[in-house]
Amino acid sequence: MTTDSSSEPLIDIDRLKRDILELAKIGQDPATRGVTRLGFSDADMQARSWLMTRIADAGGSAGLDGAGNVVGRFAGAADLPPVLVGSHIDSVPAGGMFDGTLGVLAGVEAMRTLGDLNRTLHRPVEVIAFADEEGRFGGMFGAQAVCGQLTADWIHNAHDVDGIRLADAMQAQGLDPMAALDAARRPDDIHAYLELHIEQGPVLEQERKNIGLVDGIAGVFKWIVRLVGKAAHAGTSPMHMRSDAFMGLADFAHEISRIIEEDGSAHSRLTVGKVELLPGNPHTIPGEVIFSLVGRDMSPQVMSDLADSCRKVLSAIARRHHLKFEFEQLSWLEPQGCDAGLLQVFEDHADRLGLSHLHMPSGAGHDTQFMACLTRAALIFVPSVGGTSHAPDEWTHWVDAENGANVLLRTLAAVADEGTPKTA
């Protein structure tokens, strides 16, 4: 822990690095270094208790709210609505060790640093790790719970791509799924929300910038699509007499670039990330294909245009191949802008730390996009090596992690000290 020449605080990167490396071990495959901590899995819950211990060691009081979000509270001089700082510690399958965890652990390190300096901020601070940010069960469960956007129906019906129900997964961890409805906070319960995250893309590295100031976050929709044809013998069925579900998917794959050209924008993304062919026997024509489809854009209108176009194209393909087409929408998360005032505070502190910065959009979804529905919220990025993320070789150089954590620390202190009574 140090302070700079103007006695402004600086984080201790060795402590932050140690936390990131230690947390990475929970759910990590030693062979690939990939981290798997799916929402409400054993590894995810083990990581939550590890984090609560870390928060307590740093002088906070930690617990789980009704949605399973880890909330670590650090007292302020005045009992006022807190500033929330954080991100998530759940991961995608075989993900990286910086996605989400950097923002949460940088929040803990910021409070540890201020504690070392015996500096109590005017307002309380809550370090938060949102549950299931990666949307295993659709959406961003923890952040949506805090924003009061969940319904009992949605909680009851939510399931993952393998059909495992959210309610069952939570109950298996001793949690009451419906308690998530009690995690809702009101706008005047929170002063502001700040998040630090890795960029997960190549822009900052290519532009050689230290800090990304995120103006807006893309919206995301997630479908599970089924094309149902007829399983039949692969040798006796003439090619023109088949209802081959795989060929339906193959045709759709070739249509994706046209859909984006005609109905999308430069920010549009359509991704088929998981496919299941049934019955999955090499000598049987696939009678069914089940696949995920994730669509993204910065504009709500373009998102719905993309969805409409995918629906029309899949219907036409189903007719052409004598298939039945159906889909389930697991989630629809609206695009969201970040608070310009908070971004300015982030920018001023980046300048004072001598760090270069770049205003940019986020193609990935983040908890900030929900917290912005409740309070002032803003997000900054640090560079990802090679733009890689959601993969074992996700990496961010420690100096970049340190830069981001210092900008977060300084901004957190400035925002939490807003309204401090002037001493006479």
Binding site for ligand HGY (CB under 6 A): 133-135, 220, 364-365
Least distance from ligand HGY to the Cβ atom of residue 135, Å: 6
Taking CB under 5 A as the rule, does residue 68 contact Mn ion?
A: no
3-state secondary structure of 109: helix
The option from Mn ion, ligand HGY, none interacting with 415 (CB < 5 to 8 A, set by class) reads none
Stretch that binds Mn ion, among 9-17, 91-99, 153-161, 278-286 (CB under 5 A): 91-99
The option from Mn ion, ligand HGY, none interacting with 244 (CB < 5 to 8 A, set by class) reads none
> Nearest Cα to 105, choosing from 41, 196, 174, 39?
196
Least distance from ligand HGY to the Cβ atom of residue 134, Å: 5
- For Mn ion, give the closer residue by CB, 134 or 297: 134
- For ligand HGY, give the closer residue by CB, 39 or 81: 39
Q: Is 270 left (phi over 0), alpha (psi -120 to 50) or beta?
A: beta
Contacts of 245 by beta carbon, 8 Å cutoff, 6+ apart: 227, 228, 229, 277, 278, 286, 287, 288, 289, 321, 323
The option from ligand HGY, Mn ion, none interacting with 365 (CB < 5 to 8 A, set by class) reads ligand HGY
> Nearest Cα to 153, choosing from 174, 175, 138, 136?
138
Taking CB under 5 A as the rule, does residue 219 contact Mn ion?
A: no
- For ligand HGY, give the closer residue by CB, 285 or 364: 364
- For ligand HGY, give the closer residue by CB, 72 or 219: 219
| Cα distance between residue 402 and residue 102, in whole Å | 10
For 301, the enclosing helix (H) or strand (E) is helix 300-320
> Nearest Cα to 131, choosing from 143, 114, 120?
143
**Binder of Mn ion out of 44, 99, 305, 394 (CB under 5 A):** 99
Q: Report which residue's Cβ sits closest to Mn ion.
A: 100
- For ligand HGY, give the closer residue by CB, 194 or 415: 194
Residue 85 sits at the vertex; the CA angle it makes with 82 and 86, to the nearest 5 degrees, is 140
- For ligand HGY, give the closer residue by CB, 134 or 244: 134
Least distance from ligand HGY to the Cβ atom of residue 100, Å: 8
Residue with tokens 């949102």: 130
Least distance from Mn ion to the Cβ atom of residue 99, Å: 4
What are φ and ψ of residue 95, in 5° steps?
A: -90, -165
Taking CB under 5 A as the rule, does residue 100 contact Mn ion?
A: yes
> Nearest Cα to 217, choosing from 400, 364, 87, 104?
364
Residues lying near Mn ion in the complex (CB under 5 A) are found at 99-100
